[in-house]
Amino acid sequence: MTHVIGSGKCQFLLRFVGSTTILTCYPRRFNRSEPTPIQRQAIPIGLQNRDVIGIAETGSGKTAAFLIPLLSWIRSLPTADRSLDADNGPYALILAPTRELVQQIEKEAIKFGKPLNITAVSIIGGVSREGQGFKLNLGCQIVIGTPGRLIDVLENRYLTLQQCTYVVMDEADRMIDMGFEADVKRILEYVPVTNQKPDDELAEYTKDFASKHKYRQTVMFTATMKPAIERLARTYLRRPASVYIGSIGKPNERVEQNIIMCSENEKRNKLFEILGRGIVPPIIIFVNHKKTVDELAKVLDKTKYHSCALHGGKNQQSRDFALGQVEQGKKDILIATDVVGRGIDIQDVSLVINYDMTWTIQGKQ
């Protein structure tokens, strides 16, 4: 079920500027004959330069839902301006809670942006800050980053947001859960307020913004609407259109979910019982603590199962290597903490096991 709430007109025509359909421009990059529900609703609204709150689950196609309007807006800028303004920083900023999600968004941004000569740079911890600063110095239109490292490069003047007029907060609820609310607000203070939309809709349409000097567009995607998310929305979004896909907090209907009640001492035997059912890999096992990740990986490595570990205590190279092993089919099982679970994009996962009880009821759906 899809709901769209907001003032003004929302044209649900899935088209680019110049009346070329998105699916005609990117048939191979969508890998589907039809857009997903969130893409069908959020893209046309975004193309109208409306602020958007998208409430949708992970895996719903929301990355393309905010990238397509963003790329279309950058593409509408005069080419001369885009080359001359490189020293003034990116036009767009995308915030995400984890390194893995940032890298996944960057991969999609490059895939969609390359045909349009639009470049994206990721800013994450665990990687040389100087190396990232060098990439930023070369110029890019889009910066994607985690809150902690973004504050680092902003404070050390590797990055300026002087001309940033497009802000995306992906998995905003997860950023709040991880304690990044203050960091997100701090980052947004670096974005100029001179181009912020007025509170009155009539004032927005009567004011003439020429060329690239447009109002800031802010987009937020979240799985839940917590009080902290509502506070962020009230502060930084102006008259947003809210797009609901499904029901807020409702589990994904495409996934069969089962709960197994057992004691702590029985968990490991129950895990081996489930794995022994001959389930086709890849399989993901989520746990709550880094120590448990390493312990399970050692136990599974002594059996016929080929596993790899992923958690925040590993450096970026080790994390990338672990993901690559599973994606390439060299490992059957990925054991990970929930902190790095957001942003993991592994195709055809047949089974997800929450080895530990989740911190919240929505924790690992």
Residue 361 lies in a domain: no
Say whether both 144 and 282 belong to one domain. Answer: no
pLDDT digits (tens, 9 = 90+) for 285-322: 999 888 999 999 998 988 888 899 988 888 888 888 88
Say whether both 27 and 174 belong to one domain. Answer: yes
Predicted confidence (pLDDT) at residue 17 exceeds the cutoff of 70:
no
Higher pLDDT: 130 or 11? It is 130
Q: Which of 138-152, 259-273, 336-350 has the lowest mean pLDDT?
A: 336-350
Question: Please, which pLDDT band fits residue 11 given cuts at 50, 70 and 90?
Answer: very low
Predicted confidence (pLDDT) at residue 139 exceeds the cutoff of 70:
yes
Sign of CA dihedral 291, 295, 301, 306: negative
Q: Provide the CATH number for the domain around residue 44.
A: 3.40.50.300
pLDDT digits (tens, 9 = 90+) for 22-73: 445 554 555 555 788 889 899 999 998 889 999 987 677 889 999 999 999 8
pLDDT score for 304: 82
Angle (nearest 5°) at CA 216 between 211 and 222: 140
Residue 125 lies in a domain: yes
Residue 287 lies in a domain: yes
Examine the fold and report which residue of 181, 212, 245 is the final residue of a domain before the chain moves on: 245
Say whether both 204 and 294 belong to one domain. Answer: no
Examine the fold and report which residue of 212, 245, 278 is the final residue of a domain before the chain moves on: 245
Residue 89 lies in a domain: yes
pLDDT digits (tens, 9 = 90+) for 261-290: 888 889 999 999 999 888 888 999 999 888
Sheet holding 333-337, edge to edge: 307-310, 333-337, 283-287, 351-354
Say whether both 166 and 39 belong to one domain. Answer: yes
Say whether both 214 and 186 belong to one domain. Answer: yes
pLDDT score for 16: 43
pLDDT score for 57: 73
Say whether both 97 and 232 belong to one domain. Answer: yes
Say whether both 66 and 124 belong to one domain. Answer: yes
Sign of CA dihedral 16, 19, 20, 22: positive
Predicted confidence (pLDDT) at residue 357 exceeds the cutoff of 50:
yes
Say whether both 83 and 29 belong to one domain. Answer: yes
- Tally the domains of the chain: 2
Tell me the backbone φ, ψ of residue 213, rounded to 5 degrees.
-80, 80
Residue 362 lies in a domain: no
pTM of the model: 0.74
Say whether both 268 and 236 belong to one domain. Answer: no
| pLDDT-above-70 percentage for the chain | 76
Say whether both 220 and 268 belong to one domain. Answer: no
pLDDT digits (tens, 9 = 90+) for 97-109: 998 899 999 999 9
Nearest to 97 by CA among 67, 76, 124: 124
The whole domain housing 328 covers 264-354
| pLDDT-above-90 percentage for the chain | 35
Residue 364 lies in a domain: no
Q: Checking DSSP bridges between strand 2-5 and strand 241-245, what pairing results, if any?
A: antiparallel
Q: Which of 37-46, 173-182, 195-204, 251-260 has the lowest mean pLDDT?
A: 195-204
Residue 251 lies in a domain: no
Residue 94 lies in a domain: yes
For residues 219 and 14, what is the distance between their CA atoms, to the nearest angstrom? Answer: 18
Say whether both 93 and 25 belong to one domain. Answer: yes
Say whether both 135 and 85 belong to one domain. Answer: yes
Question: Please, which pLDDT band fits residue 170 given cuts at 50, 70 and 90?
Answer: very high
